[in-house]
Amino acid sequence: MKPTALVAGNWKMNGLAESRSELETLSKLLKEGTEAGCNVLICPPYTLISSFAAMNAESIAIGAQDCHAKASGAHTGDISAQMLRDAGAEYVIVGHSERRADHGESSALVCAKANAVLSEGLRAIVCVGETEAERDAGSTLTVVLGQLAESIPESATPDNMIVAYEPVWAIGTGRTPTTDDVAEVHTALRNALVERFGENGRRFSLLYGGSVKPSNAKELMSAPNVNGALVGGASLKATDFNGIIDAYR
């Protein structure tokens, strides 16, 4: 069975209550345009998850950008997967490069967070990716496959886990790997998943993230073993994000 395509928007630390108008516009574009050949997800800041989920925007799932590994407890300022499910989230991103870099998150912690997500019946999007220095050193596959091995829990299945490759040096920089570069990493990820999970490894959705925009989405999404996109800045405007979804129409 072919992996399900997903175009996911990571709003990062952007968005206020008035931003619901972008969700409304995206829902309208999806409803009135040619049917999208992919699933669509928006991951807004925590403050908007509940209100966005309550909108029941047609054909748009709502997710979160991170969670704590514990279900509850004395963890001031943190939010658990249980709380996110209660707020209406269906997906949770874990291990994003900005969490790994800004908060020193290890792959072991990412794995614990992924386990927390799965325990609540949510879907985890586990991110892996190399820095520019690691790429220049020729360590891309070593780094990415190492993160994959250590970040994916044993309970992962194609139905509850998605992997996103995001070259750190391409996030928000305007720099984008070539289609061949992306295909090389995604094929290595696919092979590693098959080695670990058998034939089920072929069903995991693999997203590409890193300066994806309407002008390059179709080319990037056509690369072997790319099953969608994890989009940052271009997901903040409904028209731009819809232009990326066009790659699957």
Catalytic residues: 96, 166
Cα(226)–Cα(232) distance, rounded to whole angstroms? 17
Cα(184)–Cα(62) distance, rounded to whole angstroms? 30
Q: Are 183 and 226 in contact (CB under 8 A)?
A: yes
Q: Report the greatest alpha carbon distance in the chain.
A: 48
Q: Are 153 and 117 in contact (CB under 8 A)?
A: no
Tokens in use for 190?
């696919």
Q: Are 66 and 13 in contact (CB under 8 A)?
A: no
Closest CA to 165 of 114, 207, 223: 207
Q: Are 195 and 239 in contact (CB under 8 A)?
A: no
Side chain identity, residue 141: L
Cβ-based burial of 177 (10 A; exposed 0-12, middle 13-18, buried ≥19) = buried
Tokens in use for 92?
């949770």
Phi, psi of 229 (to 5 degrees): -140, 145
Cβ-based burial of 129 (10 A; exposed 0-12, middle 13-18, buried ≥19) = buried
Cα(42)–Cα(20) distance, rounded to whole angstroms? 11
